[in-house]
Structure 1
């Protein structure tokens, strides 16, 4: 079967599934261990999202993820799980199986692109408002508590007190509350702090683990600038870009984007973001060319509802 390629603009990079993986990473700073699902989503965000209704051959996905050390069986298992989770859809053509994005995955990827390119890692334009979310859940609701905490971390909340979480800016959590069916047990307020009685710098330090956040940015910047200095990022641009984007979004998805004026001087997110965007720009066209030669894609057929 011949390849049917269609290359579109490459502006949105990727997103990640924030339902399953929203916990703050537990691995040591400086160690990049991206999960296969995050890599698959990054692959689709890099090369399929802006294609406009395309599906990609499973063998192409296996080939690209193999370049970053993910084995064929792990890729196949991940694709199957992602179909079950409603993130991907299958499409058979002859003896080949192709995979395309579901509307849910498209939303996740576009949200990731917004966080990368529009929001960024440095919050310079904070307007002084906070979103406060209070909840009261029975002790036996451990799963609901975990799910709510994971969602709140994704949306940039930190624990102000037990049962009271806070995030900078006006955060719309109505979708989270509805999804978890917790409307009767959650109250949300938008407010400003009384700075005559509230030390905001101290509040930020107590509600978020600034040292851990800063360490992840510093480790990212150190590792990728060192790779760039040795031209180690140019050998396989499609693999480099896949790892770069996956790791970067893994960091910023757990960054609450706290107001820059309430963070320590020389906050490392700024330098890390400059490094990320520089290497992303350097690898964009080379990765696009490799993808054009490597990926077997076909037009997406109407979904008949079959999983």
Structure 2
């Protein structure tokens, strides 16, 4: 996906550090524009970002940069100036939905997928793209040209290589871990810690819990929360969570540190999503000036990122 802290909307810092307004704009578009053909008016976007303490000139500047990057496209609807997400942005958001809202954790016996690649020095830009995309899919580095991920990531990796024109530089293998010690869980867990920085990820999950648990507990006790407060809190939680889950490789729980905070962080996110998504959406609909059906909106968790 912040930020807006869960304790104090608009504070500007989440557990992963200060969130850029551009990241908040992507979160807002991902959550609330896809049910309007990916479009949102500039006026609505400015008002929603004002709720997150982002000033109008900053919003306009960030939107312009997103347009130049090909992530947004200018379009007027019924005389209102606005932007819609590009087809590539729509694909990125759609691909990210399962990871954000229903991430799968691997099992020990499902094996691994290896990407073995070699990109000439003259094509360093392609090498950078390849490494960036592998990281985004949760791959860890075994050596410079050999990257690894849980076996269920195979289809995503194949699709990514084809989409970016990188298939000629990489080979994919399904693999089991073998060693002189028989590949037992303790030995494999040590390897996992060398392929991924699980200690850092653990700290980030702890920080996420510290940042957002106080507000979650307040809400759970029935403290009143307005739709606007729900929106600012939810955008903050989701933006932080979105950035965290792309760092998590999703390896089997048995291969992670014993006191793994990622499990508790997932539970907290799911709880806040269930409680805040509906009223946050009501606030957005009110800002966009659309009639809201009696009884509120359903949450539709699997279709938003």
Do both share a fold (TM > 0.5)? yes
| 1:43 has 2:28 as partner | yes
| 1:149 has 2:137 as partner | no
Equivalent-residue separation in structure 1 for 2:160 and 2:267 (angstroms) = 32
Is the Cα contact below 8 Å between 2:14 and 2:236 reproduced in 1?
no
Which of 118, 126, 129 does residue 136 from structure 1 map onto? 118
Residue by residue, what CA displacement relative to the aligned partner does 1:229-253 show, whole Å, maximum 9, x if unpaired? 4559935111111111111011001
Q: Report the secondary structure of 1:254's partner residue.
A: coil
Cα 1:127–1:116 change in 2 (3 A) is farther
RMSD: 2.5
Residue by residue, what CA displacement relative to the aligned partner does 1:35-92 show, whole Å, maximum 9, x if unpaired? 333211211222222x252622111111111222322222112222222333222222
Residue by residue, what CA displacement relative to the aligned partner does 1:145-187 show, whole Å, maximum 9, x if unpaired? 2221111111111111221111111423233323443333322
Is the Cα contact below 8 Å between 1:57 and 1:296 reproduced in 2?
no
Equivalent-residue separation in structure 1 for 2:36 and 2:195 (angstroms) = 42
Equivalent-residue separation in structure 2 for 1:244 and 1:184 (angstroms) = 39
Equivalent-residue separation in structure 1 for 2:168 and 2:197 (angstroms) = 30
Instruction: Give the structure 2 partner of residue 258 of structure 1.
Output: 251
Cα 1:233–1:142 change in 2 (3 A) is farther
TM-fit CA distance, 1:127: 4.0
Cα 1:85–1:164 change in 2 (3 A) is same
Is the Cα contact below 8 Å between 2:27 and 2:239 reproduced in 1?
yes
Which of 226, 231, 249 does residue 238 from structure 1 map onto? 231
Equivalent-residue separation in structure 1 for 2:14 and 2:26 (angstroms) = 23
| 1:87 has 2:80 as partner | no
TM-fit CA distance, 1:296: 4.6
Gapped regions of structure 1 (runs ≥ 5): 1-14, 16-27, 298-307
Equivalent-residue separation in structure 2 for 1:119 and 1:94 (angstroms) = 39
Paired residues in the alignment total: 268
Cα 1:147–1:227 change in 2 (3 A) is same
Is the Cα contact below 8 Å between 1:29 and 1:215 reproduced in 2?
no
Is the Cα contact below 8 Å between 1:58 and 1:97 reproduced in 2?
yes
Cα 1:166–1:96 change in 2 (3 A) is same
Is the Cα contact below 8 Å between 1:233 and 1:240 reproduced in 2?
no
Equivalent-residue separation in structure 1 for 2:65 and 2:224 (angstroms) = 31
Instruction: Give the structure 1 partner of residue 45 of structure 2.
Output: 61
Equivalent-residue separation in structure 2 for 1:29 and 1:134 (angstroms) = 35
Which of 130, 133, 143 does residue 161 from structure 1 map onto? 143
Equivalent-residue separation in structure 1 for 2:243 and 2:83 (angstroms) = 23
Is the Cα contact below 8 Å between 2:216 and 2:268 reproduced in 1?
no
Cα 1:73–1:233 change in 2 (3 A) is farther
Equivalent-residue separation in structure 1 for 2:282 and 2:252 (angstroms) = 39
Equivalent-residue separation in structure 1 for 2:38 and 2:126 (angstroms) = 36
Instruction: Give the structure 1 partner of residue 55 of structure 2.
Output: 71
User: Higher helix fraction: Structure 1 or Structure 2?
Assistant: 2
TM-fit CA distance, 1:124: 5.3
Equivalent-residue separation in structure 2 for 1:233 and 1:221 (angstroms) = 21
Runs of 4 or more, structure 1, over 6 Å off, are: none
Equivalent-residue separation in structure 1 for 2:264 and 2:271 (angstroms) = 11
Gapped regions of structure 2 (runs ≥ 5): 2-12, 291-305
